[in-house]
Amino acid sequence: MNGAVSQHGSSRPRVAVVTGGSGGIGGAVARRLAADGTAVVVHYAGSAAKAEAVVKSVTVAGGTAVALPGDVADPTEMTGLFDAVEERFGGVDVVVNTAGIMLLAPLAEMELEAFDRMHRVNVRGTFVVSRLAARRLRPGGALINFSTSVTRLQQPGYGGYAATKGAVEAMTLILARELRGRDVTVNAVAPGPTATPLFVEGKSDELIARIAAAAPLERLGTPEDIAETVSFLAGPAGRWINGQVLFSNGGIA
């Protein structure tokens, strides 16, 4: 893969940083981008073993991947991560922000500490990484942030979480306009219910079946479904998509 010609005619491989790359969606994104010939940096915050498992799955398939740790909300740590990526690979072409947490409760009952935790990772973390991406992405690059279809579904219990993702959408759409002339696209992906361990945890089979039936396609999304959307936005076919939120949800919203 290292000798592959990039989509922009260069002999150098494209390089992607995937935050939250040890998670269900993040891991699928890392594997999909690697299959496209991209060298992938699998970022993780707490699960080195899961990140290394993603790296192994990429390398076994013939791709290039490394795992690097960092707190997405800490500008010093994330600057260090970007420095390490540039030193190892020469630059960054794609940044995908899958890192995020979801804590659910009705607004009247949600603890402020829970809201602050989500805000720190989902909003501040996206801001810190997006700012670095805006400064460092090479021409032809792509920044892909993550929102949620709950911003349209307005489901009770999701108010605090959806509020953080509304902030992510606002930052994403404005940053796309601020990067005029840079040849860098900025978009957000908004998944619907997706069959990840995080989604399944704590839900009964009956509830999962009911959620799956809500979409016209009558199934849950898979991490691979979401990864295909990211691959499109990161690749040559998605270059004319900029400043958009793509709802990858099977028509549920």
Q: Would you name the residues annotated as active-site residues? A: 161
- Nearest-CA neighbor of 65 among 98, 100, 32, 99? 32
Does an H or E element contain 225, and which?
Answer: helix 223-234
* Cα–Cα distance list, 231 to 8, 92, 211 (Å): 15, 16, 26
- Nearest-CA neighbor of 95 among 179, 2, 194? 179
Lookup: tokens for 201: 């945890």
Give the strands of the sheet with 15-19, arranged side by side: 65-69, 39-44, 15-19, 92-97, 137-146, 184-191, 245-248
Query: Would you put residue 20 in left (φ > 0), alpha (ψ -120 to 50) or beta?
Result: left
CA atoms within 13 A on the CB side of 142: 30
SS3 38: coil
What is the DSSP code string of 208-222?
A: HHHHHHHSTT-S-B-
**Longest CA span, the chain:** 56
Residue 184 CB burial class (10 angstroms; 0-12, 13-18, ≥19): buried
How do beta strands 184-191 and 245-248 pair? parallel
